[in-house]
Chain A
């Protein structure tokens, strides 16, 4: 749904399987921005049973889903979390009990995905640099790692993430724009990209230094099978899948990466 991120959307839809998957959008991190909700429906309603939950419009009958939130979310095949401010989003989720519902959804095998804030939120710890000095944010903790997004898009991000990991943040994954991590359970299963030069990195402490290891990335749409359902065992298990995509500004040019220590 992000600009140029449609390959990642195709990918995640291929995981949901079925002729018309049920997909629910959570635009909380944007403040339920109308344009984002519209973009979601434009992208997903042709092929999916699409809905959204707006936590800011529940009084006006325009909150998308009006019945019980838990019942609705737990009946989805895919929950798509939009980007924006992760601190605001987690705060609003907790106030409405959505954090607990999303944990249940994950345990039930509902696929959870999203770019940017929609990626950070699934991890135990995340680096948020949305405003001011970068800070560590506690996510829902489904994935026992840390996460850093927009790794190539913002010049200082690399050094900041390394510093946090050196100072005791959990080891974790740094992801360029346009690249997505696909977890099954808590294991990283695939790294896919909508662009040729997108990277993802495992960042972990190593003695008193920080080691960064570039992960193998499969480019979507190039070899063909990724956006179909066949090459990927979609239909077998829907168990515990959490692709975390960092798809914003997929066209941003990459800067050179230091060689892992």
Chain B
């Protein structure tokens, strides 16, 4: 699992959500199904990292509730409960098809990843074709910077710089973030980038944005750059998910259902806890 080859830049994928998915939309699986569809594996291994929340049971339970019955092999990695695991972090992370990063404190997320060397492993996984997905702190972390409320009031913060530009999230749901981000872009504290509403995800192939999709009608995205001290704001076209045929998202295919049953049986007998 760990010796997967490095893939072309154009095949590397990051899916950054402004909010949404199982932790925020328990009754709306559209974004999470989209995440699963990004892997070309029939039943992808998907790893949830609840680091930014302090590994809360609420997030872990929501992850299990969402993915347990879907065509995937879900597990989570809690840096606060590593005692339970005998595998190394490299084994856990580099064996995944998808890594899904939850929201919370971006400052803590990056600090903990750094302390455990997980940031480096995640970039390696991305270079080897693992899809990186996440919302909020788990979306902004891949960019050069974002806006965090890790210390209370919103403020700019540097990210891992896997992707160019900056990202701000919850543009509609937490309106106090956006003005801080716009001011930071205007004065150069953050590079230009994207503002995403809750429910909107931006898919990058390599370092280029390819699609913007949404789980909610009316949710939007914008690209903002500072040009000679003025902000240039452009709307980004967003596709509403769930309007096309659902089978395309892998929901009702009989073969997939069968595969799921077989794998559940297999897991029940041969796999330990996730």
Contacts and interface: CB of A to CB of B under 8 A. Distances in A.
Nearest to A61: B152
Interface residues of B, number: 28
B105 A85 contact: no
B149 interface: yes
Nearest to B111: A95
A91 B111 contact: yes
A32 B104 CA distance: 13
Interface stretch (B21-29, B62-70, B82-90): B82-90
Contacts of B151: 58, 96
A58 B80 contact: no
Interface string A93-137: 011100000000000000000000000000000000011100000
B54 A32 contact: yes
A197 interface: no
Given A59-B152, A85-B80, A96-B151, A90 B105 contact: no
Contacts of B152: 58-59, 63, 66
B88 A87 contact: no
A54 B55 CA distance: 13
A252 interface: no
A94 B107 CA distance: 10
A158 B237 CA distance: 62
A57 to B, nearest CB: 8
A191 interface: no
Contact of B83 (A54, A56, A57, A131): A131
Nearest to B104: A56
A144 interface: no
Contacts of B61: none
Contacts of A33: 54, 80
A95 B110 contact: yes
Contacts of A66: 152
Contacts of A132: 82, 86, 88
Contact of B105 (A55, A87, A91): A55
A243 interface: no
B54 A31 contact: yes
A30 interface: yes
A88 interface: yes
Interface stretch (B38-46, B112-120, B198-206, B248-256): B112-120
A88 B49 CA distance: 14
Contact of A31 (B56, B111, B115, B148): B56
A92 interface: yes
Interface string A46-82: 0000000011111100010010000000000000000
Contacts of B105: 55-56, 58-59
B257 interface: no
A84 interface: yes
A29 B112 CA distance: 11
Given A56-B108, A95-B107, A88 B115 contact: yes
Contacts of B78: 31
Nearest to A90: B115
B79 A95 contact: no
A85 B150 contact: no
Contacts of B107: 95-96
B43 to A, nearest CB: 28
A63 B150 CA distance: 10
A87 B149 contact: no
A66 B151 CA distance: 9
Interface in A8-63: 29-33, 54-59, 63
A167 to B, nearest CB: 21
Contacts of B116: 87-88, 91
Contacts of B148: 59
A63 B111 CA distance: 18
A151 to B, nearest CB: 17
B53 interface: yes
B149 A130 contact: no
Contacts of A32: 54
Given A31-B55, A131-B85, A59 B80 contact: no
Nearest to B154: A59
A57 B116 CA distance: 21
Interface of B: 52-56, 78-80, 82-83, 85-86, 88, 104-105, 107-108, 110-112, 114-116, 148-152
23 contacts: A31-B55, A31-B78, A31-B79, A31-B80, A32-B54, A55-B105, A56-B53, A56-B54, A56-B105, A58-B105, A58-B149, A59-B149, A63-B152, A85-B82, A87-B115, A88-B116, A91-B115, A92-B108, A94-B111, A95-B107, A96-B111, A130-B82, A131-B83
